[in-house]
Amino acid sequence: MRILLTSIAVFSLCLGVSFAKTSAERYEDEMAKYKRTDMFEKCIRHNSIKRTKVLDDTHIIFEMRNGQVYLNTLTNNCRPLGFTRQFAVNVRNNRLCDVDFISVLDSMTSYGSCGLGKFELLEELPDNES
């Protein structure tokens, strides 16, 4: 019985690892859904953010409640953001701006701060183009 449980645990671990996407794959898969517009905002309203998606160590997607989607390209590589995919931000005046910093989080510690870049408006592609 013990061998069976160990075998199942090892198989489950291998299965999970084989289906895990790399940061580069997450970025490519997510960005295939959008067209970049070269239209930038310096700030977005924090209470209008519906969801965030960390793609890798330098890119975060911000989905807004009004349906708009923004890509933020951080000013520098922010390790291990692409691995933990968790961050915290100190928001002032309900605005998240290109002069603000995020802190990468994991279950044990907070890493250093990384600067946000401008927010690029993305245009969602129809299903048949992605």
Note down pLDDT in tens along the chain; length 130 residues: 544 333 333 333 333 343 477 888 999 999 999 999 999 999 999 999 999 999 999 999 999 999 999 999 999 999 889 988 999 998 989 999 999 999 998 877 777 789 999 999 999 999 755 4
Q: Is residue 17 in a domain? A: no
The reported pLDDT for the residue numbered 128 is 54
The reported pLDDT for the residue numbered 129 is 52
Q: Is residue 76 in a domain? A: yes
Q: Is residue 3 in a domain? A: no
- Beta-bridge partner residues of 61: 53, 71
Q: Which domain holds residue 27?
A: 22-125
Q: Is residue 32 in a domain? A: yes
pTM: 0.79
Q: Is residue 36 in a domain? A: yes
Q: Considering its fold, how many domains does the chain have in total?
A: 1
| Secondary element (H or E) of residue 101 | strand 101-105
Strands (DSSP E) along 3-45, which ranges?
Answer: 34-41, 43-45
Q: How far apart (Å, rounded) are the C-alpha atoms in residues 118 and 73?
A: 7
The reported pLDDT for the residue numbered 111 is 75
Q: Is residue 38 in a domain? A: yes
Q: Is residue 47 in a domain? A: yes
Give, in degrees to the nearest 5, the angle at Cα 70 between 29 and 59: 55
Roughly how many angstroms between the first and final C-alpha of the chain, as a whole number? Answer: 47
Q: Is residue 68 in a domain? A: yes
